[in-house]
Amino acid sequence: MEKKTAKLLQGVKTLSINCRQWGDTGKGKFVDLFADWADIIVRGNGGDNAGHTISYEGQELITHLIPSGILYDSHGKINIIGSGTVVYPRTLNQELKGLRERGLSYDNLWVAFNAHLITPAEIVLDRIKENVAGQNKIGSTGKGIGPAYSDFIARQGLIVNDLLNPIFLWPKLKRHLNYYRNILKNYDSDLIKEIMNHEHLESGLYYDDQRILDDEKIYFRYLEYGKEFKKFVFDTDSFIKSQLGIKNILVEGAQGDLLSVKFGTYPFVTSSDPSVWGLAEGIGLREANFDLSLGIIKGFYMTRVGGGPFPTELGGLNSERLCNKEGMNREQELKSYGEISVNCDDDLLPGHHDDEFLQGIALRQAGQEYGATTGRPRRVGWLDLPLLRYVLTFNRPDIILTKLDVLDELEIIPICHSYQYQGPDIFWRGREIHHLDQLQVAIPAAEILQYCQPIYTEFPGWKKSLKTCKSFADFPSEFKEILKFVVSETGIQPRIISVGPDRKETIFL
């Protein structure tokens, strides 16, 4: 271990890594990086809505459910899918197959017996709801995450352990599917059929013309999955508790604080709590058990996938519409707009492209901001300090900044330091908020955030490659100026800077 890594991890036995924005900030890279230090790596929340990218030996591995420490399985490290996750058996089966095809082992993979199961019925409902939601679409990944977590709270969900007991599985599944049959009756039958013929739902295997859901087919398929997973299934919460303070435990979050059902930009959020609080609960611990919690942000920009307010989005509504257009992906976008330079047109003032919409596409191209799970273009905007100040109200200040190399060529880098509220007068959390008030700390509720206009401070860009920087001293003065501003405005404590996807492109401060 390098000297600086050793210093950061001095006295640390339990380390959490999660995101302080709307996801996709590089959790995969950093969980893989710290897996070298860890003995146990555990995912605490979410399901296969996540896509975590690991760059290794010139290759890319994207994990969805399997923890991003899996490359260290061959070193004897234990990777755990924790009790706070939701597991779709087909995805787990496919991910295991993918690992085998790459010659990667998963001998020490464990799955919590009490992690919740995602059923085909939940996936159908997730997709139907999005289909009929119109303007209120959340932009869900369509993996059944929302219904699966709701069913858990509504006491009608199934757990991974049910796959191992036919006598429990059958009555629970029948009750669950009966309930769903009644709900699905209210929706367009052709649409249901189309959804159920999707590959993700095993291309129609679970569909029955008369009864919508074929109970027997689901039951027998799920039993097969149970046989495959049996050797992995344990009481992981008790195990983790027993290893606390003894082994090095690395906790991996999915999504991000702003997508938290508890703290995020509700209702445009996921259905789990990806904050350190939710993560701790999702592995059977308490937040206070984390000796160090590293939160990741992109420096100095942000992205968001799906719907919901995004005050600093480049190109505003036009960008949101483009990114959320049916079937839109990297190839489609390239066909329509070609390759664009981040400073855009030569005729315009440096960095002041008057069509921010195009600059957003250019930044998306520079940062390769296309979803690791769905391939959707990620909406791009400038770093938003009111949102960062907000997440710091329930987090410790230690931060990893990633993707700084993406801004290498920019002439001007705007940072949003506050908002002007341009909505109707309202009452919020015991205080009044008036039209034209200035806000330093964001209010995460979507209906308020939509009226917040960002106010920017502009900084000159560094205009050179950061890839050659080996220590903080090597960073250009323009970069240091921006970082100093962000630190003094928010109180973050930057611990690590990332200038590329590779493990080596990492600078410890």
Residues identified as active-site: 24, 52
Query: Shortest Cβ contact with ligand IMO: which residue?
Result: 306
Closer residue to ligand GDP, CB minimum distance, 95 or 214: 95
Backbone angles phi, psi at 126, to 5 degrees: -55, -45
CB of 300 to Mg ion, least distance (A): 19
Instruction: Find, among 489, 462, 490, the residue nearest to 476 by Cα.
Output: 462
Residues contacting 457, CB < 8 A, separation 6+ = 414, 415, 417, 485
**4 and 504 in contact (C-beta within 8 Å)?**
no
Residues contacting 172, CB < 8 A, separation 6+ = 158, 162
CB of 342 to ligand GDP, least distance (A): 13
**401 and 297 in contact (C-beta within 8 Å)?**
yes
Residues β-bridged to residue 431: 428
Closer residue to ligand GDP, CB minimum distance, 226 or 500: 500
CB of 302 to ligand IMO, least distance (A): 11
Residue recorded with tokens 């890839």: 467
Q: Does 254 bind ligand IMO (CB under 6 A)?
A: yes
Residue choice 251, 258, 372, 466 for contact with Mg ion (CB under 5 A): 372
Residue choice 257, 443, 498, 507 for contact with ligand GDP (CB under 6 A): 498
CB of 305 to Mg ion, least distance (A): 8
CB of 47 to ligand IMO, least distance (A): 8
Closer residue to ligand IMO, CB minimum distance, 29 or 52: 52
Closer residue to ligand IMO, CB minimum distance, 47 or 386: 47
Distance in angstroms (rounded) separating the CA atoms of residues 433 and 240:
45
Choose one: 2-10, 46-54, 66-74, 204-212; the region binding Mg ion (CB under 5 A).
46-54
Choose one: 152-160, 193-201, 422-430, 495-503; the region binding ligand GDP (CB under 6 A).
495-503
CB of 23 to ligand IMO, least distance (A): 3
Q: Does 51 bind ligand IMO (CB under 6 A)?
A: yes
DSSP string, 213-280: E-HHHHHHHHHHHHHHHGGGEE-HHHHHHHHTTTS-EEEE--S-GGG-TTTSSTTSS-SS--SHHHHH
Residue choice 9, 16, 18, 23 for contact with ligand IMO (CB under 6 A): 23
**Residue 338, Cα to own-chain centre: how many angstroms?**
28
**43 and 81 in contact (C-beta within 8 Å)?**
yes
Which residues within the stretch 344-373 sit at the binding site for ligand GDP (CB under 6 A)? 368, 372
Which residues within the stretch 390-429 sit at the binding site for ligand GDP (CB under 6 A)? 402-403, 405-406
Closer residue to ligand IMO, CB minimum distance, 51 or 414: 51
Build a one-symbol-per-residue string for 45-64: x at contacts with ligand GDP by CB under 6 A, - elsewhere. ------xxx-x---------
Q: Does 500 bind ligand GDP (CB under 6 A)?
A: yes
Residue recorded with tokens 């290893």: 243
Q: Does 67 bind ligand GDP (CB under 6 A)?
A: no
Q: Does 319 bind ligand IMO (CB under 6 A)?
A: no
Residue recorded with tokens 């997709």: 127
Q: Does 272 bind ligand GDP (CB under 6 A)?
A: no
Residues contacting 346, CB < 8 A, separation 6+ = none
CA torsion 105-24-300-389 (nearest 10°) is: -110
Q: Does 51 bind Mg ion (CB under 5 A)?
A: yes
Q: Does 143 bind ligand IMO (CB under 6 A)?
A: yes
Instruction: Find, among 239, 200, 289, the residue nearest to 82 by Cα.
Output: 239
Residues β-bridged to residue 453: 420
Residues that bind ligand GDP (CB under 6 A): 19, 23-29, 51-53, 55, 368, 372, 402-403, 405-406, 498-501
Q: Contact positions toward ligand IMO, by CB under 6 A?
A: 19, 22-24, 49-52, 138-141, 143, 145-146, 254-256, 259, 270-271, 305-306, 372
